[in-house]
Amino acid sequence: MKKINVAKNSGFCFGVRMAVDKALEEAEKSDNVIMLGDIVHNEHVVRKIDSSGVRVVDELPAENPGTLMLRAHGTVPEVYEEANEKGYRIVDATCPLVLEIHDNARGLDKDGYKVVIIGDHGHDEVKGIAGQVKNPIIISSPEEVEEKIPSRVRKIGVVVQSTQNIENAQAIVQKLMTLGREMKYYDTICKPTKLYQAEIRTMPLENDVMIIVGSFTSANTKRLTEISHSLNPKSYQVENGSDIEKGWFDGADTVGVTAGASTPDWIIDEVVKAIEKLNGE
């Protein structure tokens, strides 16, 4: 009999939960609600939002402006300007913790620091932070530090993408410190991310097999899988219950289950049930 241990901190963070609830609420009120891009990187949630009637668009249509929902990971100021100009009603579901990162970045810029964002290139949250200031520097790994920070920059102000890998951010900060410049650092990795990452550093050592639930397009789920795999090679990422393979659990007594911040509870339950079903076979 396999014992299944579900992580205490897994699945939707409060920011994503709030954004999904708001989108469903707005869809009840109006049949003209749009969103610039998918609400989270999870196809099950995307399908649910889609069937509620919220439309996903790439650009804001000029005709028939209705409600524009802004997603949890925030956006650039130009989107607010354009939406206001075109007459949209904005429902802002940007996570308060992301808004705090925007404030920190703007404050650093105002105080004359060159803003450095530790984050993934091309990620929507990072683009939203970058849009708050002029010409920030984005760094995703310690190797990029020397190449990206020009020698003329004397004051560096650092913020971090809310879902960054803590160890990667620490390694980048340490490298930045060796440059010998004045530096101000805001640790803006959010509390839910810290709790998820703390658990994923112990669970793989305490369980024979680890299952990480979430979409392969979700950066934070991918990070959990990477950390788990580095500690326990019997770590497997699945998108739903049907991805579970019997052979993974041969000889295993304990199975740890965790999930990224964009994974809904109902999918975590489905995966747990699929593992339980193997217990009965």
Instruction: Let me know: does 241 contact 270? Beta carbons within 8 Å.
Output: yes
Q: Name the DSSP letter for residue 144.
A: G
Instruction: Let me know: does 275 contact 249? Beta carbons within 8 Å.
Output: yes
Least Cβ distance, residue 183 to ligand SF4 (angstroms): 23
What are the angstrom distances between the C-alpha of 1 and each of 41, 125, 134? 34, 42, 58
The size of the interface with ligand SF4 (CB under 6 A), counted in residues, is 14
Q: Is 125 among the residues known to form the active site? A: yes
Task: Please give the residues from 59 up to 78 whose contact with ligand SF4 meets the rule CB under 6 A.
Answer: 72
Least Cβ distance, residue 131 to ligand SF4 (angstroms): 16
Least Cβ distance, residue 105 to ligand SF4 (angstroms): 14
Choose, by CB under 6 A, the member of 11, 15, 136, 264 that binds ligand SF4: 15
**Going residue by residue from 17 to 56, which x/- string records binding to ligand SF4, judged by CB under 6 A?**
----------------------------------------
Residue nearest to ligand SF4 (CB): 15
Q: Exactly one of 25, 26, 81, 125 is catalytic; which is it?
A: 125
Least Cβ distance, residue 98 to ligand SF4 (angstroms): 5
Chain centroid offset of residue 182 CA: 30
> Taking Cα atoms as reference points, which of 177, 168, 180, 75 lies closest to residue 118?
168
Rounded to the nearest 10 degrees, the angle between the axes of helix 191-200 and helix 166-177 is 110
Residue 120 burial class via C-beta count within 10 angstroms: exposed 0-12, middle 13-18, buried 19 and up: buried
Encoding tokens for residue 238? Answer: 């699945």
Task: Please give the residues from 101 up to 120 whose contact with ligand SF4 meets the rule CB under 6 A.
Answer: none
Instruction: Let me know: does 118 contact 158? Beta carbons within 8 Å.
Output: yes
CA distance 274 to 241: 5
Q: Does 98 bind ligand SF4 (CB under 6 A)?
A: yes
Task: Please give the residues from 179 up to 218 whose contact with ligand SF4 meets the rule CB under 6 A.
Answer: 190, 192-193
Contacting positions for ligand SF4 (CB under 6 A):
13-16, 72, 95, 97-98, 162-163, 190, 192-193, 261
Catalytic residues: 125
